[in-house]
Amino acid sequence: MREPMRVAEKLIGEHTLSGEEWRVLLENSDREMTELIKNAAREVTDSVFGRQVYIRGLIEFTNICKKDCYYCGIRKSNSCVERYRLTEEEILSCCEEGYEAGFRTFVLQGGEDGYFTEERLCVLVNEIHTKYPDCAITLSVGEWEKESYERFYAAGAERFLLRQETANAEHYGKLHPGNQPFATRMECLRYLKDIGYQTGCGFLVGSPYQTIDCIIEDLLFLERFRPQMVGIGPFLPAKNTPFESEAAGSSELTLFLLSAIRLMLPEVLLPATTALGTARSDGRLQGLLHGANVIMPNLSPARVREKYSLYDNKVHSGNEAAEHLEALRTELAKADFTVAMSRGDAPGFAK
């Protein structure tokens, strides 16, 4: 058997590879091996989750951010962005609409906006938790002290998304300004895991300066860290950022990596991301066919969706939006998937 196929079989059978074996896989991914990995990943997903796709209601509640990540369209230095911040009432009404539509997970995502202090976020999380005790609350609000993460958890947030973006310290330094150290990101991820959050991390595929070595480090990091969720999407350039003229990341490589991650971490929650859906029109469906099992429709008010532009041309209507849940159901049914409106906890965390 050819070496790349032997390595692929090992990943399928043993769910682990060394750095050198990942290199063989990544440098020799021809059609035959890609198909093998894809089909095995979907089989594993079916055996753990069936054909159910977990649905999360995404609420992008502020695009104001004090950080300056070079790849991000809403970074502090981008003066061309029309900024917005939802009021607490608006956020609660997004939850209300979502709850009525059947959503049982809310993902509160925002920039690091100084208005949303630890206390304000705790009050908000507690209000949502008290009103909808049968729902899971996910926060995606960046880097905080350990005590703050603990208070959010005590207020009712059980899940947290914080992508490492890259597990290579040098590469991280090329994607972020010097006052955003890699060590802080890693420390925050450890805090989240220690506190007991269902923790999500992830990385950009094809970000500027990314090498195969960086991707290998990300995969080895995921294996060590064992997150409950992994979000990966192709890098997409955003206007008025230092990377606006850089080439977009490959959606094919993203799909391949989704399958590889599924095989390495069979029980992980794996979203077919909006970035993938933006990079190609069938991105979300292809994501599912490659081993993803989560979709996050947008519950934010339609008037602000366009403004939460982490990258250019982000899809924010059509089946991406929560109000088109029925159309999404129909689209997924064609590929034999069903929409699961349950909380969709990570295995081992079910309530």
Per CB under 6 A, residues contacting ligand SF4 are 65, 67-69, 72, 74-75, 111-112, 142
Smallest distance, ligand SF4 to C-beta of residue 64, A = 9
Question: CA geometry: angle at 154 spanning 190 and 117, to 5°?
Answer: 80
What is the enclosing helix (H) or strand (E) of 138? strand 136-140
DSSP, collapsed to helix, strand or coil, labels residue 319 as: helix
Rg (alpha carbons) of the chain, rounded to whole number: 19
**Residue 74 vs 136, nearer CB to ligand SF4:** 74
Alpha-carbon gap, residue 133 to 156, rounded angstroms: 9
Question: What count of other Cβ atoms lies within 10 Å of the Cβ of residue 245?
Answer: 9
User: Please, which residues bridge with residue 300 across strands?
Assistant: none
Q: Tokens for 300?
A: 């934010």
**Residue 65 vs 230, nearer CB to ligand SF4:** 65
Torsion from C-alpha of 29, 20, 230, 14, nearest 10 degrees: 90
Smallest distance, ligand SF4 to C-beta of residue 51, A = 33
**Residue 184 vs 338, nearer CB to ligand SF4:** 184
**Residue 26 vs 161, nearer CB to ligand SF4:** 161
Smallest distance, ligand SF4 to C-beta of residue 305, A = 15
Smallest distance, ligand SF4 to C-beta of residue 111, A = 4
**Residue 141 vs 269, nearer CB to ligand SF4:** 141
The CA–CA distances, whole Å, from 286 to 30, 132, 256, 291, 324 equal 18, 33, 10, 9, 19
Smallest distance, ligand SF4 to C-beta of residue 191, A = 17
Burial environment of residue 41 by CB neighbours within 10 A (0 to 12, 13 to 18, 19 or more): buried
Alpha-carbon gap, residue 146 to 149, rounded angstroms: 5
Smallest distance, ligand SF4 to C-beta of residue 65, A = 3
Q: Tokens for 68?
A: 């300056």
Smallest distance, ligand SF4 to C-beta of residue 284, A = 21
Smallest distance, ligand SF4 to C-beta of residue 313, A = 17
**Residue 105 vs 309, nearer CB to ligand SF4:** 309
**Residue 142 vs 277, nearer CB to ligand SF4:** 142
251: CB partners within 8 A, 6+ apart: 234, 276, 279, 280, 283, 286
The beta strand positions in 33-185, using DSSP E, are 52-55, 57-62, 105-110, 136-140, 157-161
